[in-house]
Amino acid sequence: MRIRLFVLRFLVSITPMVLLTPCGRAQSLTGLEREERQVMLKSIFDDMRKDYYDPTFHGLDWEAMFAEAKGKIAKATSKAEANLQIAAFLEPLNDSHTLFIPPQHAVREDYGWQYQMIGDTCYVTRVRPGSDAEAKGLKPGDTVLTINGFTPARESLKKIEYVLQVLDPQTGLRLELRDQSGKIRRVDVVAKQRETPSILGRTDLDNHELQIERERSVDQQRWNYEELGDQLMILKLPSFYQTGLTVNEIIEKARKHSALVIDLRSNSGGAETTLQALLGGMFEHDVKIADKQQRSKTTSLIAKGTHNKAFTGKLIVLVDSDSMSAAEMFARVVQIEKRGTIIGDVTSGSVMSARYHPHHWGPKCRKVLRSCDIGS
């Protein structure tokens, strides 16, 4: 495991697909917005030079890369293009946890359907009732052949999502699908747009809606469990950010059962401390999770065993292609230590930790830096 800076990650080859799509939302670039993007680029450049775990940047010419990106932003004709150039700046580092998060858009796109890699094939997994996707005939089980002309694959799908959800959200997507009978069809799916929650200038009703959204977000991260007699407990973890019960409370409940299924499918990772605590609850003795490579040192990341308070019954861990970061590390330690059975797909391959560097610009050009554990 490597400790890396959470700033940016992007694959250059996706850029033409985004900039040329007919469904994109045009965003002209004002002089002030161009200047803001240059400030963002410089902040990323400085943060990385100060904190990136490899001061040699894998042998890359960091100064030359910065100068090239600065020149491209100077010639950019839209906010989307400028954002993409900032993102492309760090592509050669090839880090799963290094992501540029630009200022949020005024509206948010809801495409009304979800997709996932299963094996080496991308499938539609959910379609929201009442969405344009449902009206256009999308069904779970359809194979996604292309998204805006780009073929999804394991190494590219998360990058496509990054572009469509973060860098340059689209008002619609042009899809090529194959249904379960083998018929291939092309459809344009229109996104539902809604205003992005904001604090400034909101009415009481707006703030109430914002609070509801926050509560919904917390609820989506909540750990859920089901106890089936004395034989089995099933624990669903959407992430390693804890809400509700503590790890100790979960382990105490699990110890009352002969078997425990931990569902880490679509788990996006999370806090390192939670990973250590949950793994420690599965072992009576200490176990090594990984070597933690940092800028100035390498240390061992250890899960402290909980001795006679550990769950010692049968353990089954479920994973899929969207199991990331801490979820992958949990499953891998269980596998290496022969503590339980791992069932599912090949996981994401996003195994590292990171620090989050938020920057705020305003009348006083305040710059705020804080550290935290972060998932994929």
| pLDDT class of 197 with cuts at 50, 70, 90 | low
pLDDT in tens, 199-252: 444 444 444 454 445 545 556 678 999 999 999 999 999 999 876 679 999 999
Per-residue pLDDT at 162: 86
Q: CB neighbours of 181 closer than 8 A, spacing ≥ 6?
A: none
DSSP one-letter string for 20-42: T-TTBPP-B--HHHHHHHHHHHH
Q: Are strands 341-344 and 314-319 parallel, antiparallel or unpaired?
A: parallel
Question: Residue type for 169, please?
Answer: P
Per-residue pLDDT at 70: 97
- The single residue listed with the structure tokens 């969207």 is 322
Per-residue pLDDT at 113: 95
Per-residue pLDDT at 235: 97
Per-residue pLDDT at 376: 32
Per-residue pLDDT at 91: 87
User: Among 68-77, 100-109, 268-277, 313-322, which is the least confidently predicted range?
Assistant: 100-109
Domain architecture of the chain: domains with CATH: 3-102 (no CATH), 107-195 (2.30.42.10), 218-354 (3.90.226.10)
Q: Is the distance from CB of 180 to CB of 141 less than 8 angstroms?
A: yes
Per-residue pLDDT at 175: 97
pTM for this structure?
Answer: 0.80
- The single residue listed with the structure tokens 């999370």 is 270
Q: CB neighbours of 158 closer than 8 A, spacing ≥ 6?
A: 348
Q: Is the pLDDT of residue 151 over 80?
A: yes
Per-residue pLDDT at 310: 97
Q: Are strands 314-319 and 259-263 parallel, antiparallel or unpaired?
A: parallel
Question: Residue type for 222, please?
Answer: R
Q: For residues 94 and 106, which has the higher predicted lDDT (pLDDT)?
A: 94
Mean pLDDT calculated for residue range 272-297: 93
Average pLDDT, the chain: 83
pLDDT in tens, 227-236: 999 999 999 9
| pLDDT class of 167 with cuts at 50, 70, 90 | confident
| pLDDT class of 294 with cuts at 50, 70, 90 | confident
Mean pLDDT calculated for residue range 32-58: 92
Which two tokens mark 43? 């902040």
User: What distance, in Å, lies between the first and last C-alpha atoms of the chain?
Assistant: 13
- Between CA 164 and CA 321 the distance in angstroms is 19
- Residue 48 sits at φ, ψ, to 5 deg, of -65, -40
Q: Is the pLDDT of residue 118 over 60?
A: yes
Question: Residue type for 323, please?
Answer: S
Per-residue pLDDT at 121: 97
